[in-house]
């Protein structure tokens, strides 16, 4: 990509119909044998519909407007941003996954504010996702906007679909990563990897 090309959003906001969601949740509850519970059927379908509308691909996010980059003041070495919490939605079961991201990049001409890096990740994580797709989408997204010499991202997450099936808190940690450019070199990759896997993610407790 040249400096004159405008990067695109891989997952632009999509239309949301809260009424359709509400009716579907009401059918789901009836299918689960909960339709005779008036206190559940009265308000729960709408609450769930509004929750999903607010958290999955909300249409009021303009990531192109929100994601700003700045001229590099002279940084030539690795920038590490650790312990970025995010929530994703497993596209296989529509159950949440709680994750912590660790990002490293070596800037060229541009840098980004740390909150913007988190915004970019969460924008993509809010879609129904697979970990393997999310890490690639996120690196694509950040690389296109930062144009760094190299970039790497490690995602570590625990998945509620596992906990729901086993009726126990999930202690399994899923780790995926993507690295490009100079982050494939050990001198840059090792500091990121070691900081990412130094300890079990805190959302799982001790």
pLDDT, tens digit, for every residue of 27-70?
Answer: 999 999 999 999 889 999 999 999 988 888 666 566 667 778 89
Q: Residue 63: which H helix or E strand, with range?
A: helix 63-66
Examine the domain organization and report whether 97 and 119 are in the same domain: yes
Examine the domain organization and report whether 74 and 167 are in the same domain: yes
Examine the domain organization and report whether 40 and 73 are in the same domain: no
Examine the domain organization and report whether 138 and 119 are in the same domain: yes
Q: Is residue 171 part of a domain?
A: yes
Which class for 102: exposed (0-12), middle (13-18), buried (19 or more C-beta within 10 A)? buried
Q: Is residue 4 part of a domain?
A: no
Examine the domain organization and report whether 22 and 99 are in the same domain: no
Examine the domain organization and report whether 71 and 22 are in the same domain: no
Which of 100, 122, 78 is CA-nearest to residue 199? Answer: 100
Would you write out the chain's pLDDT as a tens digit for each of its 206 residues?
334 344 444 556 677 899 999 999 999 999 999 999 998 899 999 999 999 888 886 665 666 677 788 999 999 999 999 999 998 888 899 888 999 999 999 999 999 988 888 888 888 888 888 999 999 999 998 999 999 999 999 999 988 888 888 777 766 889 999 999 999 999 999 999 999 998 777 665 44
Q: What is the CATH number of the domain that holds 70?
A: 3.30.1130.10
Cβ-proximal residues to 152 (8 Å cutoff; 6+ apart), any chain: 103, 104, 105, 139, 177, 178, 179, 180, 183, 188, 189, 192
Of the three residues 8, 26, 55, the one that is the final residue of a domain is 55
**Domains: count for the chain:** 2
Examine the domain organization and report whether 113 and 160 are in the same domain: yes
- Whole-angstrom Cα distance, residue 130 to residue 136? 10
Examine the domain organization and report whether 43 and 107 are in the same domain: no
Examine the domain organization and report whether 38 and 71 are in the same domain: no
- Whole-angstrom Cα distance, residue 45 to residue 148? 45
Examine the domain organization and report whether 70 and 49 are in the same domain: no
**Domain residues for 180?**
64-200
**Which pTM does this prediction carry?**
0.85
Q: Is residue 206 part of a domain?
A: no
Examine the domain organization and report whether 126 and 44 are in the same domain: no
- Whole-angstrom Cα distance, residue 10 to residue 137? 7
């Amino acid at each position: 990509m040249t400096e004159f090309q405008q990067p695109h959003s891989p997952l632009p906001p999509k239309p949301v119909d809260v009424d359709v969601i509400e009716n579907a949740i009401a059918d789901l509850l009836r299918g689960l044998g909960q339709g005779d519970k008036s206190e559940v059927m009265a308000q729960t379908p709408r609450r769930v519909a509004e929750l999903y509308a607010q958290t999955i691909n909300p249409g009021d996010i303009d990531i192109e407007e929100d994601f700003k980059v700045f001229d590099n003041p002279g940084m030539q070495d690795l920038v590490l941003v650790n312990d970025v919490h995010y929530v994703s939605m497993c596209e296989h079961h529509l159950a949440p996954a709680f994750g912590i991201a660790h990002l490293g990049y070596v800037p060229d001409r541009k840098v980004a504010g740390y909150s913007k890096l988190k915004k970019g990740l969460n924008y993509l994580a809010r879609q129904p996702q697979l970990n393997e797709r999310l890490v690639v989408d996120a690196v694509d997204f950040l690389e296109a906007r930062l144009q760094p010499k190299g970039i790497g991202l490690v995602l570590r997450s625990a998945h509620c679909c596992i906990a729901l099936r086993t009726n126990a808190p999930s202690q399994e940690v899923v780790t995926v990563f993507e690295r490009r450019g100079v982050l494939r070199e050990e001198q840059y990759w090792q500091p990121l990897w070691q900081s990412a896997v130094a300890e079990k993610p805190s959302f799982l407790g001790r």
